[in-house]
Chains A and B, each alone.
Chain A
């Protein structure tokens, strides 16, 4: 799934950047959020590409003997860069906390310098504490939860139906950022994730350094992800009780269901988890691995990019109605859906006794559905587009500072430079240390 995720993320990121360049009529908040999400996708794509190349037989047959190699450095560096964007993104979208031109102009240099500083520090400390930087997801929780509940309450209590777009955007962002941790909510609630964390540390070969910083990072994200999905569950249940179930409610209940089953499965395999500590590490049952492949991994690798795409298109971050953007948007939407569908079918085929003839037929049906419903899918995504910035402007809560196009494009340019620096730095450092 990782190579597919690399293609999906990179393709979507690059296409979004192209579409953003053609959407100059968008307000500063939409454009900056678009750049940030697009570069986040590009960095995740490059991260997955580095991981995929490391797994190829070509790379494993080379004479690399050191613990870290060029692609390992790239993997960690792009991960850190994406995490720094994730940390700053909630200050811009869906409810911009930074609204003054001076702070908006700081976003690009802060992301650039913050990424570079953490990348270099981690490189010099051999990534012993890289897990700690998961705390960079904290702002997404602290900002998106109040935004979600404020606008959900306004919709439910004050009858403001347009407030839904704000709570929906905040909810989708929470799922996009904490999706993986949300599927472990029950395990975190009954506090058994620490046993998994300890097992993975022993499996990786416990070193003499302190694991405390990494474990702080894991605990914070797992806990925030757990509370985020439970909060969304409460909020969506409240909404569903009055307005009925919609697509987002179903997604929330699906994740809650997956987390419930995963928690029970995790509890069932605790003896295997603990075997590392008391006897010798036993392997997890195959069915347990398959379950996680189809839930947590699929959510993280395949559906998170789709959720980001949904934010970009549904909330009009990209001007998808413009004639010059429409064909490209259509191609990319259909392509993404097809890639994800075919990957899921291939995964199913890997353990179910389904002949390739049947799986090809299923894929053909999926293609037919996507082609037949292309107009409908696009209309759902684009025609009902609800701009977050327009909603905030209507509430008179969005400042329109004096920001030039160049100031906004600085983010994209600085991320381009950061990418080049990361590649050169990783190449040099891996050559010197390796």
Chain B
């Protein structure tokens, strides 16, 4: 025992009990063993795993597309507004595919009347419960024609889908595809309003032969499936 404060004596005092020393050595050895294998797992193995995340990887996303069509032919009376519903659950969506956008073409064929002058046809996609991008700037929800040309309407269903190839930075494939694996879009009915205003030369149709119009609505549903490849 000593009270002169020498480091050597102090260490000798701390380690003066043999039974205590055995416990201490056992604890220190256990600590070394634990440090070695947890150190390997954390410092070596996890460093490898995490290195993949240190800089985002570049991925290219391309889209395979398939189309489905639906059609309705309606005979609309003069000054009538007709609502036509297309139930999108009727179409067959292949595995892995989602609805990207919908193109609608409305055609009318002038047959009645003496002059055969084109009638005014208007078509509107009506906002309803259909899950779609109703405020997308690329939408064209209304159209009108009085020259017997088809009316084209468009609505984007899946957010930001335009079919173009994309390059994306992400830490893994899953996160790169995260924006392209959402479900729930394109559920509901597509609702289209048709308006007809019969036109006659100088406003005259004395025989009353031009009172309606046969209007065809073709709905082209563009479906997509994302494909991903890592850029080197």
Residues on A facing B (Cβ under 8 Å): 95-97, 99-101, 141-143, 145-147, 149-154, 156-157, 188-189, 191, 193-195, 197-198, 201-202, 206-208, 210-212, 215-216, 218-220, 222-224, 226-227, 230-231, 234-235, 277-280, 395-401
Contact = CB atoms under 8 A, between A and B. Distances in A.
A280 B34 contact: no
A223 B10 contact: no
Interface of B: 1-7, 10-11, 13-21, 23-24, 27-28, 30-31, 34-35, 37-39, 41-43, 45-47, 49-50, 53-55, 171-172, 174-175, 178
Max chain A C-beta neighbours (<10 A), residue from B18, B38, B49, B54: B38
Contact of B14 (A146, A208, A224, A400): A146
Contacts of B47: 210-212, 215
Classify the interface of chain B: helix, strand, loop or mixed: helix
Contacts of A207: 54
A156 B34 CA distance: 28
A269 to B, nearest CB: 17
Contacts of B23: 149, 152-153, 231, 234-235
A227 B34 CA distance: 8
A397 B19 contact: no
Given A206-B53, A227-B31, A399 B3 contact: yes
Given A99-B5, A154-B20, A219-B42, 6 more contacts: A145-B28, A149-B19, A149-B21, A157-B17, A193-B38, A194-B41
Contacts of B6: 100
Contacts of B5: 99-101, 399, 401
Contacts of B27: 145, 149, 227, 231
A188 B46 contact: no
Given A206-B54, A231-B23, A399-B4, A150 B17 contact: yes
A150 B38 contact: no
A145 B19 CA distance: 13
Nearest to A216: B43
19 contacts: A95-B10, A97-B10, A143-B14, A149-B27, A150-B16, A153-B17, A189-B34, A191-B38, A193-B38, A197-B42, A201-B53, A212-B43, A215-B42, A219-B38, A220-B35, A223-B38, A227-B31, A395-B1, A397-B10
